[in-house]
Amino acid sequence: MRFLAAFVLLFVSACTAAPDNDASQVAPILTTEDAVDIQTFAQPEIARVTHVSLDLELDFEGQGVSGSATLDIEAAEGADTIILDQDGYVVSAVTAADGAELPFETGEAQDGKGAPLTITMGDARQVTIAYSANNAAALQWLTPDQTAGKKHPYLLSQGQATLNRTWIPTQDSPGIRQTWDARIVAPEELTVVMSGLSGGDAEAAGEGKHAFTFEMDKSVPPYLIAIAAGDIVFQELGPRSGVWSEPSMIEAAASELSDTEAMIDAAEKLYGPYRWGRYDMIVLPPAFPYGGMENPVMTFLTPTFIAGDRSLTGLIAHELAHSWSGNLVTNANWTDSWLNEGVTSYFENRIVEEIYGKKRADQEAALAFANIEETLAEVGMDAPGTSLHQAVNLDSIGSAIIYDKGAYFLRTVESIVGRERFDAWLEQWFDNHAFQPATSAMMLADMEANLVKDEAEAEALMLREWIYEPGLPSNVAKPDPAAFAEVDAAAKLFTDSRELNDAAWGGWTSAERQRFLAGLPRRLNEAELAALDEALKLSDSTNNEELFLWLELALENQNERVVPIAEEFLVNVGRRKFVAPLFETLMDQGAWGEPIATRVYAKARPGYHSVTTGTVDEIVGFSG
Ligand code: BES
Ligand code: ZN
């Protein structure tokens, strides 16, 4: 064992000597205890993947991918095994570059983690894994019926946090950065996109098939490898941005996304160059389980953000901001996902301020603050899950801590040290850690070394408390109470006297409308709900955030009239953030709601991604 430790040390110090933040260079593995990822079987200090080369064919009938992955490996001297993460894919052979067959073995699976795949590589430092992946949890195979065009099938993937180990044989940990390339064979009616730069037009690849190539020459955490395939077209948005979608949606998508290029410019002005070349997006079918996913050079988006008036494009600012926070500087493990999501939510709001002005930015920030307060009131100020650095990686508290408390931490720091110093500090953080993993402890040390001016300021900032303690520190920079003064007065008027001002509603921003809906009394009778719907046309809303809040309120009051609307929404949309709370609301309604939930879920479930069924199965008590 001591023998091995010596090798490991040698290896680690050799890696640390590699030039910092060179995009194509693989970053050193962090070896501090807080950087260890307990959700991987990989032992990167002994042997790590540095490059993945995929050669895969998509099989829409069999709903699977098959082919090979060739891995480049860097290993400590003398190391003769490498451990990968394996969750469901089936390996048929592993070979070295000279064609020699290498022994491999799947170990015991652990809940939610898959199993270790140990390859005895000897002194080989490149291995090719022949494999296939059916029923991979990351991949969703849509039938033509689940697309807008209804003619062709569709494939989409979701890798974060630990799903890519269901279809890519590699070390699936955010601290183990890898470059990658891919060749993907697909039916010739379909176009394939990935989270890497495209090698150009498809080439013929046998009867009725063609092949696309992709390359990511910057080292990325493997959760960011993503694929989509369907009957899709492209529309240019700006010199380095564009959007993909099904043909029938491309116009609406491009129009909703017309601020993208300005957002990239604004982000660069704030925190330094955009380092990924192009910024393209794909608007997926509504089955996509998230609002957005920051896959490099190809952000994945739900179509439910399209409201017709760009009122929900904070989502775009968010996914774009991940090009710095998350994709450039990456949480070393998922206990520090606030480093990805919280920093991004702060950055998102700064972009929104640049593009749409301070009023909209302040309102969106005030909504986030209300979310923190509501969640803390629910779970308690002392709940351990309410610290930014999470002792264990629970997915339970929702967005209020990791996203919103994370953003409010940086807002608070900004308000104390001033915007100028704060922005300079954050830009150097991105620069100095570019293409590398990071931990909370590193962020804290960096703030102490490069931001905090003196003892008095250190005391005022309460950095350690913000990162490691539950609840909300006393120095939090609260949002301007005036942000929603008018709307809150209107909600109070309705609460006190059931009076409505539909003219005012017509002039409100989406944030104001969301605030108003959240501020209504939770108990309303049928007549009151009907009056609200009549005056504000809520059931006909084309803004899905508003429609969702309305459906939630109406179902909470066992309102029969919205049931068909809710049913259509739940069957059509697979975005977990909307779907899970609506099923939860129905289940809370006992004898009235449970049968509706069960009936609708039976219909909707086949159209959901595993991310969404994973959550809703538990809510509805579904068990096969
Ligand atoms: N990276 C996240 C999505 C994610 C988080 C997937 C954790 C898997 C595990 C993405 O950037 C995100 O935060 N999406 C939000 C959008 C938002 C807060 C504007 C969403 O999907 O709602
Ligand atoms: Zn995010």
Same domain for 531 and 448?
no
β-strands 209-220, 197-198 pairing: antiparallel
| Phi, psi at 497, each rounded to 5° | -135, 10
Contact 274, 323 (CB under 8 A): yes
Q: Are 362 and 478 in contact (CB under 8 A)?
A: no
424 touches 271 (CB < 8 A)? no
- Whole-angstrom Cα distance, residue 74 to residue 47? 6
Of 196, 231, 266, the one marking the end of a domain is 231
- Residue that finishes a domain, picked among 231, 251, 285: 231
429 with 529, same domain: the answer is no
Same-domain status, 60 and 180: yes
The structure tokens 């809520």 sit at 538
Taking only the tens place, the pLDDT of each residue in 352-369 is 999 999 999 999 999 999
Assess whether 251 carries a catalytic annotation.
Answer: no
Residues 529 and 403 in one domain: no
| Ligand nearest to the backbone CA of 348 | 1
Average pLDDT over residues 40-56: 98
pTM of full prediction above 0.85: yes
Do residues 91 and 104 touch, judged by C-beta distance below 8 A?
yes
Burial class of residue 572 in the structure, from the number of CB atoms within 10 Å of its CB (0-12 exposed, 13-18 middle, 19+ buried): middle
Token pair 């209804």 is found at: 150
Domain for residue 482, yes or no? no
Q: Does the beta carbon of 87 sit less than 6 angstroms from any atom of ligand 1?
A: no
Does 277 fall in a domain? no
Q: Looking at 231, 252, 284, which one is the last position of a domain?
A: 231
How far are the Cα atoms of 32, 53, 172, 349 from residue 81, in angstroms, in the given order? 23, 19, 17, 46
Residue 340 CA to ligand 1 centre (angstroms): 10
290 CB under 6 A from ligand 1?
A: yes
Summarize pLDDT for 73-95 with one digit per residue, the tens: 999 999 999 999 999 999 999 99
So what's the pLDDT on residue 23?
A: 82
The answer to whether residue 403 is catalytic is: yes
Within-domain flag for 275: no
Region of poorest pLDDT, from 127-141, 296-310, 384-398 = 384-398
Q: Is the CB of 226 under 6 A from ligand 1?
A: no
Cα–Cα distance list, 62 to 132, 136, 147 (Å): 11, 12, 19
Of the two residues 2 and 303, the one the predictor is more confident about is 303
- On whether both 80 and 165 belong to a single domain, the answer is yes
What does the block give as tokens for 515? 């605030």
Query: What's the CA gap between 188 and 209, in Å, rounded?
Result: 5
Residues 454, 536 within the same domain:
no
pLDDT at 13 exceeding the cut of 60: no
CATH of the domain at 598: 1.25.40.320
Mean pLDDT on 590-614: 98
Half-sphere exposure of 240 (CA within 13 A, CB side): 14
Checking if the pLDDT of 1 tops 50, the result is no
Q: 600: domain range?
A: 522-620
- How far, in Å, are 152, 157, 217, 278, 353 from residue 295 at the CA level? 24, 10, 14, 12, 24
The reply to whether 290 falls in a domain is: no
CA distance 350 to 367: 15
Shared domain check, 431 and 334? yes
pLDDT at 18: 41
Question: Residue 306 Cα, ligand 1 centroid: separation in angstroms?
Answer: 17
User: Same structural domain for residues 208 and 96?
Assistant: yes
CB 341 less than 6 A from any atom of ligand 1: yes
Structural domain count of the chain: 3
- Taking alpha carbons only, the member of 263, 508, 237 closest to residue 363 is 508
Q: Are residues 109 and 183 in the same domain?
A: yes
Note whether residue 493 is domain-resident.
no
| CB neighbour class for 418 (10 Å; exposed up to 12, middle 13-18, buried from 19) | exposed
CA-only gyration radius of the chain, Å: 25
- Band the pLDDT of 16: cuts 50, 70, 90: very low
Tell me, yes or no, whether 457 and 532 share the same domain.
no
Asked whether residue 568 is assigned to any structural domain, the reply reads yes
Q: For 540-570, what is each residue's pLDDT tens digit?
A: 999 999 999 999 999 999 999 999 999 999 9
575 is in an annotated binding site: yes
> How far is Cα 69 from Cα 277, in angstroms, rounded to an integer?
25
Distance 10 CA to ligand 1 centre (A): 38
Summarize the confidence of residues 501-511 as an average pLDDT: 94
Q: Is 322 annotated as a binding residue?
A: yes
Catalytic residue among 131, 274, 346, 403: 403
> Is there a domain that residue 246 lies in?
no
Distance from the Cα of residue 226 to its chain's centroid: 12
CATH of the domain at 451: 1.10.390.10
Q: Which of 443, 442, 519, 435 is nearest to 484 (CA)?
A: 519
Q: Are residues 459 and 540 in the same domain?
A: no
517 lies in some domain? no
Query: Measured between alpha carbons, how far is 28 from 74 in angstroms, rounded to an integer?
Result: 11
Q: Can you tell me the mean pLDDT for 485-494?
A: 96
Type of residue found at 465: E
Assess whether 410 and 342 both reside in one domain: yes
